[in-house]
Amino acid sequence: MKITKNLNTYEIEDLYPSCQTDASIRLPISMSHGGLLGVDAALAQLVISWARAQEQSVLRLFANAESAPEQIAQLGRTAAGLAALIMCSRIETETHESIEKRAALTLIRPLIEAMYDGDLRNTSSERGARPKTINLYSINFAKMEFIKPFYFGERDPQIQSHASFSSLLEMSSALMYPKHDKNTLHRGGLPALGSVLAELIANADQHSVTDVHGVKYKKGLRGCSVKASRIKRHDVHLQSDKEPQFALFVIRNMLKGDDYLDFLEISVIDSGPGLARRWLSAREGAPIEDLGELPLAEELKATLDCFKKHVTTKDSVTSGMGLHNAVQALNKLKAYVRLRTGRLCLYQTFQGQDHVVEFNPKNWSGDRELAAAEGTVFTICIPVK
């Protein structure tokens, strides 16, 4: 399976059948998005799904043995590249020379250390004064699995406070944006966005690390990419046919006379079993191995149940609030959100209503049936005005 750098989210969905048939994958070290939302995250989820579908998955580089180390280091700084390096079985050059996986992972150790220490600038794939993307991921069974931006306590790691996640986003925005835009973001609700990120990371920590049998995945990751994105006015039509609500969201937030909209894009990615499989397995007390025998309507109901207040498989009176609270914060931010999990891709534009709101998304793919994806991806868009 060969991934070209100009693929969009719709074309990435077209590749899911190849996950079952192609044992190898080739990834570019960057993607050209044209303003499209969530391309990097969508590609990372495709890679996770591919790796889980193949017993012997091969990451094939666009490089010979001499230039392979440089390309591996660059790949590790993208969400999809990191997922491929962590989850593949083998790594080969373009001439089919084998590269020891341990040696390859040693090449990205500086990146892993930067993520662990919260050295945000050095988690980015871009060089220069202002990074465009900051990546923070926890890797199953890694010595530095419980990265400091997400966890505290070495012996018994716990998720950081909402305030800590707000500070993390403030530091990220300070690196990515000029002072004026950073201050605008702060007034527009960075603290609330920190609350959303805290809830989503906590949810990934609780529900994505183990399979439906409760066994920790030998290969897996969870975390987020924070990205400074821009869409030009003349590119909005690229969205209007297949994702009209996002196009409308962009137009509504684009100031009169401006040729583009800057927005903060946050994608939370995990390699778990997905929302519906996790929820139904816990509720029924029996693992749901395959979504194929489950009616799509039942999968949708199970997914939406995850966002309801106090709907939980735990006994605590405070359980079940995580995703519900995230929805309330997203409403405050007037965010556009896309969720890809299982056979579902859902979206919602929040309006900033004064009352408690429900997660009441629409189907992103229209009448098209999507293949089942591994893991869960939330992509959130916040305008920078």
pLDDT tens column, 118-142: 999 999 877 767 888 999 999 999 9
Supply the pLDDT for residue 273: 96
Among 42-46, 176-180, 312-316, 356-360, the range of highest mean pLDDT: 42-46
Supply the pLDDT for residue 314: 47
- Residue 81: pLDDT above 80? yes
CB 230 within 8 A of CB 188: no
Under the banding of pLDDT at 50, 70 and 90, the label for residue 265 is very high
Supply the pLDDT for residue 188: 57
CB 56 within 8 A of CB 23: yes
Task: Give the CA distances from residue 346 to residues 31, 234, 272, 338, 340, in Å, rounded to whole numbers and listed in that order.
Answer: 23, 26, 18, 6, 7
Under the banding of pLDDT at 50, 70 and 90, the label for residue 247 is confident
Lowest-confidence region among 17-21, 258-262, 266-270, 299-303: 258-262
Supply the pLDDT for residue 240: 67
Q: How many helices (H) and strands (E) does the chain have?
A: 15, 13
Which residues, other chains included, contact 164 with Cβ-Cβ below 8 Å and sequence gap of 6+?
149, 194, 198
Q: Where are the alpha helices (DSSP H) in the chain?
A: 9-14, 16-21, 39-53, 68-75, 79-87, 101-107, 109-117, 162-176, 179-188, 190-207, 237-240, 244-253, 275-284, 296-305, 322-333
Q: Where are the alpha helices (DSSP H) in 22-121?
A: 39-53, 68-75, 79-87, 101-107, 109-117
Task: Give the CA distances from residue 250 to residues 8, 10, 223, 261, in Å, rounded to whole numbers and listed in that order.
Answer: 18, 19, 26, 7
Average pLDDT, integer, range 306-321:
55
Pair of tokens at residue 91: 């790594």
Average pLDDT, integer, range 361-384:
92
Supply the pLDDT for residue 316: 36
> Is beta strand 260-270 parallel, antiparallel or unpaired with respect to 362-363?
unpaired
- Residue 384: pLDDT above 90? no
Supply the pLDDT for residue 317: 34
Q: Distance between CA 125 and CA 135 in Å, rounded?
A: 9
Supply the pLDDT for residue 315: 39
Lowest-confidence region among 117-121, 127-131, 196-200, 260-264: 127-131
Under the banding of pLDDT at 50, 70 and 90, the label for residue 216 is very high
pLDDT digits (tens, 9 = 90+) for 159-169: 999 999 999 99
Share of the chain above pLDDT 70, in %: 92
| Dihedral angle over CA of 287, 291, 294, 295, nearest 10 | 150
Residue of higher predicted confidence among 181 and 354? 354
Q: Distance between CA 325 and CA 206 in Å, rounded?
A: 16
Lowest-confidence region among 55-59, 127-131, 244-248, 291-295: 127-131
Q: Distance between CA 193 and CA 190 in Å, rounded?
A: 5
Average pLDDT, integer, range 19-26:
96
∠ CA 158-333-324, nearest 5°, is 50
Supply the pLDDT for residue 300: 96
**DSSP β-bridge partners for residue 376:** 270, 341
Q: Distance between CA 373 and CA 273 in Å, rounded?
A: 9
State the pTM of this model. Answer: 0.94
Task: Give the CA distances from residue 336 to residues 165, 245, 248, 268, 304, in Å, rounded to whole numbers and listed in that order.
Answer: 20, 9, 11, 14, 17
CB 316 within 8 A of CB 251: no
- Residue 147: pLDDT above 70? yes
∠ CA 347-82-61, nearest 5°, is 115
Which of 60, 72, 135, 147 has its CA nearest to residue 102?
A: 72
Average pLDDT, integer, range 228-233:
87
- Residue 358: pLDDT above 80? yes
Residue of higher predicted confidence among 176 and 125? 176
Q: What is the DSSP string of 269-287?
A: EE-SS-HHHHHHHHHHTS-
